[in-house]
Amino acid sequence: MTRIRFHRQLDDLKERLLVMAGMAEQAIQRAVEAYRVRDLSLCDLVARSEASINSFEREIDQMALDLLAMEQPMAIDLRFILAVIKINADLERVGDQAVSISERVRDLHALPAVELPVDIPRMAALASSMVRRALQGFIEADAEVAQSVLAMDDSVDKLNDAAFFSLSAMIQEQPLYAPQALHALLIARNLERVGDHATNVAEDVIFWVRGADVRHHLSA
Amino acid sequence: MTRIRFHRQLDDLKERLLVMAGMAEQAIQRAVEAYRVRDLSLCDLVARSEASINSFEREIDQMALDLLAMEQPMAIDLRFILAVIKINADLERVGDQAVSISERVRDLHALPAVELPVDIPRMAALASSMVRRALQGFIEADAEVAQSVLAMDDSVDKLNDAAFFSLSAMIQEQPLYAPQALHALLIARNLERVGDHATNVAEDVIFWVRGADVRHHLSA
């Protein structure tokens, strides 16, 4: 395989990872929209997208594996391919979180609607913007953009802590609505996990770009 | 690098991953023991082990990267190295779950002790045995052993669903203890995630051994 062809394939790999990221982000958006408007048809869409996301994950992994097998890549390309493999796994798990949220929306739909003291759409917007920004760092090979994601994670964690206290207080006042509050708490946790995956992606981007492993240093 | 030396290094890599698995499992055990006996000194141990687990993860990744860079590995070795990289990431996140549990134990410790209708130690034993079995599949290069982990995941999910209902019912009867119940619910979720990571490890073992990607087929 010529060097030019090899680099074209690396570009292909990058393109596909971006499609994968778009699918994962869309799944989160739909699941949260399903929550907001109590629309189960959106849950169906999320459930259906899971299979596409999973098969896309396999395809990207296979491409990466083929590139590793066919040519002995240079250090920077090697790190790029490894970053793709790891980011791919994180994006697939973002999709899993969307499925998990949409299942909770179904459970909530079977219960009386009640006002919940937690701003799920806001948490989702923040977590999604983390995923987008981590991917922007990946597209632009910009470690600083990726690094800004790590700071955003604290905001998601804070919203999540606030959700714990407000839902806990609500339950004490209106114990009848405990199931609804517990579902909302778990959806908030799902979104916190999306933020964690975005953080992992950002760390992988930094590792690729800087060639140094900064994981656990920045968050310590 | 000679072929023999290359294979000795692969064995080294395997050994280190097993040490990593042991550290992650111990962290879970300590966090759950801290829960059981309300002992904050165990939480300190878990917090301290996080740094070791993180630096071990970096070391293993670097070894794997060096092996990929130095020699063009054969297909089976390539798949092995990639499996190690992915398993490594999952084990590090098992360690994160332990930290998360130990932080909830601290929160619980600040609240009045109360009987909670959820068998956390049993869930932990099941999740830990999944991790151990997935690693056994890895040591023995046995896809069937790894595959048995996938079935165990359903049991953890069922225990988790049961925890949701029993804790929800408890809160409705004793709303005063809502915070304790919510913490217990989130610890149950942490353990469910440990089971998810064990499932991921098992899938990576199957991928390495069989050379085929079975992810998402078995669980579909």
pLDDT in tens, A16-28: 999 999 999 999 9
Residue scoring higher pLDDT (B2 or A204) = A204
What is residue A168's predicted lDDT score, i.e. its pLDDT?
96
What is residue B214's predicted lDDT score, i.e. its pLDDT?
52
What is the pLDDT confidence band of residue B163, given thresholds at 50, 70 and 90?
Answer: very high
Q: Tell me the helix, strand and coil percentages in chain B, rounded to 5.
A: 85, 0, 15
What is residue B2's predicted lDDT score, i.e. its pLDDT?
79
Q: Which residues lie closer than 8 Å to B88 by C-beta, 6 or more apart?
A: B17, B20, B57, B60, B61, B64
Residue of A nearest to B189 (CA): A186
What is residue A218's predicted lDDT score, i.e. its pLDDT?
44
Report the predicted TM-score, pTM, of the whole model to 2 decimal places. Answer: 0.92
A160-170 residue pLDDT tens: 999 999 999 99
Residue of A nearest to B86 (CA): A86
Distance of alpha carbon B136 from alpha carbon B21, whole angstroms:
11
Instruction: Tally A–B CB contacts below 8 A.
Output: 90
What is the pLDDT confidence band of residue A76, given thresholds at 50, 70 and 90?
Answer: confident
Q: Which of A58, A164, A220 sits opposite B215 (nearest CB)?
A: A58
Contact A216 B171 (CB under 8 A): no
- Let me know if A15 is exposed, middle or buried by CB neighbors in 10 A (0-12, 13-18, 19+): exposed
Residue B54 forms contact with A (CB below 8 Å): yes
Q: Which residues lie closer than 8 Å to B219 by C-beta, 6 or more apart?
A: B150, B153, B199
**What does the pLDDT average to over A208-216?**
69
Class of CATH domain B3-210:
mainly alpha
- Answer whether residue B134 shows pLDDT above 60: yes
**What does the pLDDT average to over A40-61?**
96
The domain spans of chain A are 3-210
Distance of alpha carbon A5 from alpha carbon B42, whole angstroms:
55
What is residue A70's predicted lDDT score, i.e. its pLDDT?
75
B34-73 residue pLDDT tens: 999 999 999 999 999 999 999 999 999 999 998 988 767 8
Residue type at position A178? A
Partners of B48 on chain A (C-beta within 8 Å) are none
What is residue B69's predicted lDDT score, i.e. its pLDDT?
83
Contact B85 A85 (CB under 8 A): yes
Q: Would residue A185 be called left, alpha or beta, if left means φ above 0 and alpha means ψ between -120 and 50 degrees?
A: alpha
Which token pair is B87?
């398993």
Contact B216 A79 (CB under 8 A): no
- Answer whether residue B217 shows pLDDT above 70: no
A90-142 residue pLDDT tens: 999 999 999 999 999 999 999 999 999 999 999 999 999 999 999 999 999 99
Residue A77 forms contact with B (CB below 8 Å): no
What is residue B175's predicted lDDT score, i.e. its pLDDT?
95
Residue A178 forms contact with B (CB below 8 Å): yes
Contact A68 B54 (CB under 8 A): no
Residue B219 forms contact with A (CB below 8 Å): no
What is the pLDDT confidence band of residue A211, given thresholds at 50, 70 and 90?
Answer: confident
Residue A189 forms contact with B (CB below 8 Å): yes
- The distance of B210 to chain A (nearest Cα, Å) reads 14
Please report where in the chains the tokens 């619910």 appear, as a residue: B185
Dihedral of CA atoms B128, B132, B135, B141 in degrees, nearest 10, equals -140
- Answer whether residue B216 shows pLDDT above 70: no
